[in-house]
Structures are given as C-alpha cells and as structure tokens.
A and B are shown apart, each in its own frame.
Chain A
Amino acid sequence: MTAFNQETFDSVADIIADICSIDRTEIGPDSHAVNDLGIDSLDFLDVTFDIDKKFGIKMPVEQWMEEVNQGDADADEFFVMKNLVVRIEELRAAKAA
C-alpha cells in the first residue's frame, strides 16, 4: 500500500492555501477538503489543475465522484487530505512504472 508522503502533503496544502485563500496552518492531514476547508467545486477544479501540473498526473476526479455518488466509495477516501495525498502518490507511482 502506498504510504503518506509529507513532502507531497506540503505541496498540496500549499496549492490549496494559495488558490482557496485558506490559512496554511488550518490545513492538516485529517482536514476534509470540502467539509473542513470549504473548498467549492470551482476552486477544486483549480486545485486539480495545479496538482496535475505539479506532479505530471491526471487525477481522475470525475471517476472518484462517480464512485462516491454510486455508493461504491466514501468521499473521505478521496477528499481527506492524507487520503488525497496517498491517491496522488499512487498516480505518480503508476506513471513512473
């Protein structure tokens, strides 16, 4: 299983803080992007853009949302920061493979 990466977390938190005008200190590994940080869908598009660009990946956000909407996954699996970081690490690893 892919491990949490602090450096990736810091990069993602910096992106979110910058785009969403959120105090960086409020963003922790257990923060939920929507429920805790209040990121709306438009801001999340920008966050996705910058994360994709930063790490050279394509986060399948639509697929994630579909899984959540169909009850196949819990939103926390994708949108709690520590889980989001693990997803990003998985995508980076898949790309490098």
Chain B
Amino acid sequence: MKLEYFQMVDRVEAIDLERQTIRCRAQVPERSTVFEGHFPGYPVMPGTLLVETVAQCGGFLLMALDGYRRMPVLTQVVKARIREAVEPGATLRIDAEVQQVSSGIAAIEGRISLEDRRAAECEIRYRTMPFPEPALRDLVIARAREIGAPVTAAGPGGA
C-alpha cells in the first residue's frame, strides 16, 4: 500500500471471472504521513481508506470483467462497517464480489479480513464510464499487470 498515492491493493491473489469474485492482499505501511494525523501517538488506518481499499479491489474486478473498457468511479457507499482498528504493518485480505452490473452502473460487496477476523465490510456502488484519456487507461492496465490482475478481453458478465 502507498496511502499517499492511493495505491491500496498490493496483489490480486485470486480472481474468478465466472463467479465474479476477487481476493486481494495489501500490506499497511509501517510509516505514512497519514498516521501522523490519524492519530498523533495512536496510528490507525482511517476507516475511509479501508472503504477505498475495498472499492479499488472491486474496481479491479469490474475492469477485468469488461476488458478494461470502462473505468468504475465510486458513487455510493451503501453500507460500511469498520469492526476493528487496523494498525500500521497489518496484512489485509480483501474479498469482493459483484452484486449487480447494469448499463453504466455496478455494485459490489466486499470485506477486509485480518487473519481470520473480519475488520471491515462494505457495499459499494460505482458509475462505470469510458476512460477519459487513453493514457489513464494505459496506466491502470500497467498497474493491474503489476499487481497480478488479469488483463484480457472482456470476460463473462462484463459491464
């Protein structure tokens, strides 16, 4: 994870395009300017960034499903529960599955686990739109390759 660059997903560990599920891994950094303010002397991963982590995990799933034709943009956090404080150095497992993909919209459910404990769970909706710039799409695909997400033609159930 590079919190300052909003790189929340380190690795795609498993993805199933038929079942429309994904599992990712992320290592919370030991040090970050984020922790200087959240909170002084008591560093804790902000809950909003846990939601962002789930959103990015789901986003990689949605892009893999439609062959990176469209870019999912967060529009709604329907539900979010932060069950446990996540401290610097923690290893996160993030799971997400598609709930709905429609014309220009998508919804996922996801959760973050710390070992066998559930730390957070979210229900997230996105608007999906064509990439505004080809260069951005190229960057996203490069990042997807870097973290081990499949970059292929559209899979089943794409947006």
Smallest CB separation, B72 vs chain A (Å): 12
B152 within 8 A of A: no
Name the B residues within 8 Å of A42 (CB-CB): 75-76
User: How many B residues, CB 8 Å from partner?
Assistant: 10
Q: Is residue B140 contacting chain A, with contact meaning CB distance below 8 A?
A: no
- Residues from chain A with a CB closer than 8 A to the CB of B127 are 45
A10-18, A20-28, A30-38, A46-54: which lies at the B interface?
A46-54
**Interface of A (DSSP majority class):** helix
Give the residue of A46, A53, A61 whose beta carbon is less than 8 angstroms from that of B103.
A61
Q: Do A48 and B75 have beta carbons less than 8 Å apart?
A: no
- Interface bits B67-105 vs A (CB < 8 Å: 1, else 0): 000000001100000000000000000000000101111
In the complex, which residues of chain B have a beta carbon less than 8 angstroms from the beta carbon of A58? 102-103
Complex Cα spacing A42 to B127, Å: 9
The number of chain A residues touching the other chain, given as a range, is 10 to 19
Interface of B is mostly: strand
B107 at the interface (CB under 8 A from A): yes
Which of these, B75, B76, B100, contacts A52 with CB under 8 Å?
Answer: B100
Residues of chain B within 8 A of A62, CB atoms compared: 103-104
Task: Give the chain B neighbours of A59 by CB distance below 8 A.
Answer: 102-103
Report Cα–Cα, A48/B75, bound state, in Å: 14
Residue in A53, A60, A63 whose CB lies within 8 Å of B100: A53
Min C-beta distance of B39 to chain A, whole Å: 32
B75 touches A49 (CB 8 A): no
B: residues with CB less than 8 A from A are 75-76, 100, 102-105, 107, 125, 127
Q: Could you give 21 example pairs across A and B, Cβ below 8 Å?
A: A42-B75, A42-B76, A45-B75, A45-B76, A45-B104, A45-B125, A45-B127, A48-B105, A49-B100, A49-B105, A49-B107, A49-B125, A52-B100, A52-B102, A58-B103, A59-B103, A60-B103, A61-B102, A61-B103, A61-B104, A63-B103
**New contact pairs (6) apart from A42-B75, A42-B76, A61-B102, CB-CB < 8 Å:** A45-B104, A49-B100, A49-B105, A58-B102, A60-B103, A62-B103
> Which chain A residues have a beta carbon within 8 Å of chain B's beta carbons?
42, 45-46, 48-49, 52-53, 58-63
